[in-house]
């Protein structure tokens, strides 16, 4: 069975159809590629439900999350991802 997940990346809806046994991290990688966000690895992004709750474990099959039809999942860069470390004074 296939599920339709809509990822929101930089304000753009990216619909992705996935098999229910597919791992969520694979769908995230596909959504980033489809949206053209390939400059940063998937590990530098975080995924949240519509209410802002962080989805921490992306390794489970999609059907284990209990997503409802029409769900929107938000992909955003993690705070400080890929940024330069502050320089120490001295």
Domain ranges for the chain, please list them: 2-77
Cβ neighbours, 10 Å, residue 55 = 15
Q: Tens digit of pLDDT for each residue in 61-87?
A: 999 999 988 899 999 999 876 554 444
Q: What is the pLDDT of residue 85?
A: 43
What residues have CB less than 8 Å from 17, skipping those under 6 apart?
A: 2, 3, 4, 5
What topology is assigned to 2-77 in CATH? Answer: Ubiquitin-like (UB roll) (3.10.20)
Tokens of 7: 């990822």
Give yes or no for residue 90 having a pLDDT over 80. no
Q: Each residue of 23-33: pLDDT tens digit? A: 999 999 999 99
């Amino acid at each position: 069975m296939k599920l339709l997940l809509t990822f929101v990346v930089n304000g753009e809806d990216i619909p992705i159809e996935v098999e229910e046994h597919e791992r969520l991290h694979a769908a995230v990688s596909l959504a980033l590629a489809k949206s053209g966000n390939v400059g940063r690895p998937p590990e530098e992004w975080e995924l949240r439900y519509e209410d802002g709750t962080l989805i921490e474990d992306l390794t489970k099959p999609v059907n284990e999350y209990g997503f409802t039809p029409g769900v929107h999942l938000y992909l955003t860069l993690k705070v400080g991802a890929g940024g330069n470390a502050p320089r120490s004074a001295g």
